[in-house]
Amino acid sequence: MPSEGDGRAGRARPSELRSGDAMTNRAGAGMRYERTARSGRLRGSVVVPRLLARGVLVGAMGLALATAGCVSMPEARTGKAAPAWSPASEDATKAFLKRHDEISNKARLTRNPDLARAVESGPLLRASSAAFLIARRLDPKNKKPAKPLTHDDPQVYLPKFDNYPVWFVAVSQVAQEGRTAVDLVARSSAGSPWKKAQSVELDEDAQLPALAMRDGAAIDVSANPGDTLVRPPAKVAIAYAVLLQDGPTAPQAKVFLPSPDTQRAHQAAQQNARSKAFSYSQSFDVTSMRALATKDGGALVLFTMAETERLAMRDAATLQFRKEDAVAAYTGLDKGTAFLRTTWVWQVAAVVPATGQGDGKVRLLGVTRSLAEANMK
């Protein structure tokens, strides 16, 4: 079964990428392209991140929820009902989190994706690998190495399971950033290691609700059909992908509380779409989703998306980048005359209220958008 894997969105500003920075930004920023007044060429600019390594396809939700290819426990293979079980002790989960910090910091220092692969998977690994490539090209001698990051005072929320894959959520404080991080850690089979698949730093003003516990375990509501929630967790992820793709007038806008991140992402996409110098399109694919019950009857939903942007030049236009821009560093090119295609990883944390609770709106707690791949000609 597949693993789950700051600049802010809006008018992207040219900005230098320091060694040790990731092509990661707070929700939705990315590409905005414009024709320069003097040269008549197109200039691309990218919001460059602070941290290193950190059409909507509805059917893709099956990747997150289906059990095909997953390993059953021995009890299930005997025909007897497999009892719910806890796949790790609290000490074991915290030991992994400590090990992740140690290996991740070494990977960031050496810009080595093979090291990161030992403790990361899915969207998080894609973002880390892209960031390492960018850092190596911008600072080949590693004169400004990445600073270590630590996740302090981790609180672990581990549900009970009756088969694989298994997973848990960790909430910790990133002291160096003064932010709260929510991480998803998954294990696909009994013989595979734990790996961090998703990591979201919450907005500074975000309030993470208390998570519910039953018999000492967190409560997995990923498959909740929506009978107790204003919207099923799976449909929340799909609704947000549709909202980003279809714009602020999409019916899905009423599902969510207004968010500056969403608004800025819409503004950037709309401006690109209006350009006469190139054609522009984007699409979103929901790639994973997990949800835990909150004490107030709602749910904390963690989901990821893959966004693809496609840009094709018209009338011999040229897309010009500064050499220090992340897309230029990733592709090894500072201009494009034919096309640009980028793939971005979105990692989202949101709260879904219980039916009849409050205003009934889904609230985004934190969104991270990271470059995963770029191809330009």
Q: What is residue 258's predicted lDDT score, i.e. its pLDDT?
A: 94
The mean-pLDDT minimum among 19-23, 32-36, 352-356 falls in 19-23
Q: What is the pLDDT of residues 282-319, one digit of tens each?
A: 999 999 999 999 999 999 999 999 999 999 999 889 88
Top pLDDT among 15 and 23 is at: 23
Least Cα distance to 276 among 69, 35, 1 occurs for 35
pLDDT for position 6: 31
Write the CA distances from 249 to 241, 244, 254, 259, 364, integer angstroms. Answer: 14, 10, 9, 14, 18
| Structural domain includes residue 238 | yes
Q: What is the pLDDT of residue 177?
A: 81
In a domain, 11, yes or no: no
Q: Is the predicted pLDDT of residue 36 greater than 80, yes or no?
A: no
Q: Which residue has the tokens 């904390």?
A: 300
- Model's pTM, two decimal places? 0.81
Q: Alpha helices of the chain — where are they, by DSSP H?
A: 61-65, 74-77, 90-110, 113-117, 122-138, 233-246, 260-274, 326-331
Cis-peptide, bond into residue 165, ω within 30° of zero: yes
- How far is Cα 369 from Cα 357, in angstroms, rounded to an integer? 30
Domain of residue 321 covers: 24-376
Does 158 score more than 70 pLDDT?
Answer: yes
The whole-chain average pLDDT of the chain stands at 82
- How would residue 35 be classed by pLDDT, with cut points 50, 70 and 90? very low
Asked if the structure places residue 9 within a domain, the reply is no
Q: Which residue has the higher pLDDT, 357 or 8?
A: 357
Residue 208 within a domain: yes
Phi, psi of 291 (to 5 degrees): -145, 140
- What is the pLDDT at residue 169? 98
pLDDT at 14: 27
pLDDT higher than threshold 90 for residue 71: no
> Which distant-in-sequence residues (6+ apart) come within 8 Å of 214 by Cβ?
none
Nearest to 363 by CA among 294, 310, 311: 294
Residue 7 lies in a domain: no
- Asked whether residue 5 is domain-assigned, the answer is no
CB atoms within 10 A of CB 310: 14
Query: Residue 32: what pLDDT?
Result: 52
pLDDT over threshold 50, residue 46: no
Q: Per residue in 50-60, pLDDT tens?
A: 334 334 443 33
> What is the per-residue pLDDT for 315?
86
Distances from the Cα of 270 to the Cα of 72, 230, 247, 248, 308, angstroms: 47, 30, 8, 10, 15
How many other C-beta atoms lie within 10 A of the C-beta of residue 77? 10
Domain count, the chain: 1
- In the chain, pLDDT over 70 holds for what percent of residues? 78
pLDDT digits (tens, 9 = 90+) for 237-272: 999 999 999 999 999 999 999 999 899 999 999 998
pLDDT at 223: 94
DSSP β-bridge partners for residue 303: 289, 348
Q: Looking up tokens 């894997």, which residue turns up?
A: 5
pLDDT exceeds cutoff 60 at 28: no
What are the tens digits of pLDDT across the range 95-139? Answer: 999 999 999 999 999 999 999 999 999 999 999 999 999 999 999
pLDDT band at 324 (very low <50, low <70, confident <90, very high): confident
What is the average per-residue pLDDT within 131-158? 95
